[in-house]
Structure 1
Amino acid sequence: MHRTLIRYGYVPFMLLGVNGVGIALATTGATKLWLLGLLLLAIGCSFAAERLLPYEDTWNTSLARDGRRDVAHAFVNESVLLISVTAIPLLAALVTVADLWPHSWPFAIQVLAAVFIADLGITLVHYASHKIGALWRFHAVHHSVKRFYGLNGLMKHPLHQTLEMSAGVAPLLLIGLPVGVASALALAVAVQLLLQHSNADYRIGALKYVLALNEGHRFHHLKWAGVGDVNFGLFTLIWDHLLGTFSYDPVRRFSSDQLGMAAKPNYPTAYLAQLAEPFRASGACHAQPPQP
């Protein structure tokens, strides 16, 4: 019974339940501690779902102490995200060109609009990071994973995380993004990353062709050059359909042997070493051979 509940109820619980509570709290102007609390709840639910209904049992086991490293990435990147939210009023005061924000719209619709706009900016930077060597060297940290589970979504070089989020949020700031909407957006990003990289074997039906969740995103982490240059979207796959980068095969199964980077199989696994690696890389390490 619990397996069926997780398979079909986990995604609605996270997308509508956790985000819905966040939206409700954001409308009250409550202290931003609620954001931290809901983030911890989402991470806890992510781990529980992965253990109760795993896609791949072995992905629930730490490899070469990567669990500690991933916690470090998650802590740093989410701390930066939370700090950025608190800085929204100051940033908005400095860069807002014109307050064109639709304040009269229902708050939930404002959040959805912010998600849609941010998704475009983040997707384009993600796409560029697979095409431009200088960006790829920082993004490669994220592609060094050898198992696919929730915290992988938060495993990013902080400079690349900052670049992606800046591309998503900057257009919103220019038109007067309210701090409440920014708070709900920050939670939505964290929830989406947990779902997108989840090891939970959930189902979303035909929505897998529209929402950027784990069934489609596994293809993005295939280790061969060109093969993994698909499904770049964070929230949706709309932009991938328009860019011609959408890919999905319903019969394909994934294992650790198919993940990572073929050209850099010995990529550093320790946290500090991964932070330093982009500055030591001398070439575009995404120049990998095609899948045999």
Structure 2
Amino acid sequence: MSALVASLIRYGYAPLMLIGINGAGIAVAATGAHKLWLLALLGIAVAVSFAAEALLPYRADWNTSHGDFGRDTAHSVVNETVVLGSVAAIPVLAAVIPGDGIWPGSWPFVAQVLVAILVADFGITLAHYASHKVAILWRFHAVHHSVQRFYGLNGLMKHPLHQTIEMTAGVTPLLAAGIPVPVAAALSLAVAVQLLLQHSNADYRVGPLKYVLALNEGHRFHHLKWAGIGDVNFGLFTLVWDHLLRTYSYDPGRRFSSADLGMAAEPDYPSGYLAQLAKPFTR
């Protein structure tokens, strides 16, 4: 691979996803186009993610299945369906959730999406933080921390009940405020794109923004397998709340391998999809 291609991926991949894919999603949602266009954009995002990982990996061995690709695909399909289903259910949910309807509907559409991202980031980050502190929540969140490699599909490798808990924490304030369905649809794509970037095996760079945006350079520290050590960098979109909670951690000299990931306290955690669904309900 040429140095030019490597540089394009290293410095262009994140902007392409954050600005290009999300920007296209915002344009599609703003015009009221069919939601299938958002699914098409998600498919493009996944394809770009795998291409970047293949061409410029952080670790080449993380591009090889550890017997987990089928399981991770199942998690991703189920959990993305949960997200899309929640968007479709917004009119019904809005009717039963009390609120003052204070949504800034007169603002430019892109500004409304940014507000939705910031509000959702706050709720999801707090739910994530609580999932490391409250035992019953950790039982469901542990599924996500059982990973043995770090790549795009890890982002949606979650127990569906925990995915629902996080999304509820992030979306309920938005529903109470009266978020429109098109804004929620753009938000759902932004969440999926962010999870791909946050867990990506691509060796990309964002410069000083790594201290503010919750991307893969910082999120790897969250997946360190030792209790307490990995209780850092909880943010989904930003690291703002981690700085305020004093849970931010970053060491530019640290390198990661599969030996650093997983859960030291549960080295034999189930690896199959159905077994992981059942695990939180067992002793």
Q: TM-score range by the shorter chain?
A: over 0.9
Match of residue 200, structure 1, among 190, 199, 202: 202
1:150–1:198 contact (8 Å) kept in structure 2:
yes
Q: Where does residue 71 of structure 1 map in the other structure?
A: 73
- Once residues 276 and 87 of structure 1 are traced to their aligned partners in structure 2, the CA distance between those partners, rounded to angstroms, is 27
Q: Where does residue 127 of structure 2 map in the other structure?
A: 125
Match of residue 40, structure 1, among 40, 43, 58: 43
- Once residues 238 and 87 of structure 1 are traced to their aligned partners in structure 2, the CA distance between those partners, rounded to angstroms, is 30
1:71–1:151 contact (8 Å) kept in structure 2:
yes
The answer to whether structure 1 residue 31 and structure 2 residue 31 are counterparts is no
- Once residues 90 and 108 of structure 1 are traced to their aligned partners in structure 2, the CA distance between those partners, rounded to angstroms, is 24
Secondary structure, aligned partner of 1:121: helix
Deviations 1:139-166 (A, max 9, x none): 0000000000000001000000000000
- Percent identity of equivalent pairs: 72
CA drift of 1:2 comes to 1.1
Deviations 1:79-135 (A, max 9, x none): 111111111112112214111000111100100000000000000000000001100
Q: Where does residue 254 of structure 1 map in the other structure?
A: 256
- Once residues 21 and 216 of structure 2 are traced to their aligned partners in structure 1, the CA distance between those partners, rounded to angstroms, is 18
The answer to whether structure 1 residue 185 and structure 2 residue 178 are counterparts is no
Q: Where does residue 49 of structure 1 map in the other structure?
A: 52
1:257-272, aligned counterparts within 5 Å? 257-272=259-274
1:38-187, aligned counterparts within 5 Å? 38-63=41-66, 65-187=67-189
- Once residues 106 and 153 of structure 1 are traced to their aligned partners in structure 2, the CA distance between those partners, rounded to angstroms, is 30
1:96–1:176 contact (8 Å) kept in structure 2:
no
**Unmatched 5+ residue regions in structure 1?**
283-292
Secondary structure, aligned partner of 1:224: coil
Q: Where does residue 21 of structure 1 map in the other structure?
A: 24
**Runs of at least 4 residues of structure 1 off by over 2 A?**
none
- Once residues 96 and 173 of structure 1 are traced to their aligned partners in structure 2, the CA distance between those partners, rounded to angstroms, is 9
1:196–1:212 contact (8 Å) kept in structure 2:
yes
Paired residue type of 1:181: V
Q: Where does residue 231 of structure 1 map in the other structure?
A: 233
1:99–1:176 contact (8 Å) kept in structure 2:
yes
- Once residues 26 and 257 of structure 2 are traced to their aligned partners in structure 1, the CA distance between those partners, rounded to angstroms, is 36
- Paired residues in the alignment total 280
- Once residues 163 and 22 of structure 1 are traced to their aligned partners in structure 2, the CA distance between those partners, rounded to angstroms, is 25
- Once residues 89 and 129 of structure 2 are traced to their aligned partners in structure 1, the CA distance between those partners, rounded to angstroms, is 27
Secondary structure, aligned partner of 1:230: coil
Paired residue type of 1:83: G
Secondary structure, aligned partner of 1:29: coil
Q: Where does residue 10 of structure 1 map in the other structure?
A: 13
CA drift of 1:36 comes to 1.0
Q: TM-score, normalised by structure 1?
A: 0.95
Secondary structure, aligned partner of 1:98: coil
- Once residues 114 and 99 of structure 2 are traced to their aligned partners in structure 1, the CA distance between those partners, rounded to angstroms, is 22
Paired residue type of 1:270: G
Paired residue type of 1:84: S
Secondary structure, aligned partner of 1:260: coil
1:211-230, aligned counterparts within 5 Å? 211-230=213-232
- Once residues 159 and 38 of structure 2 are traced to their aligned partners in structure 1, the CA distance between those partners, rounded to angstroms, is 22
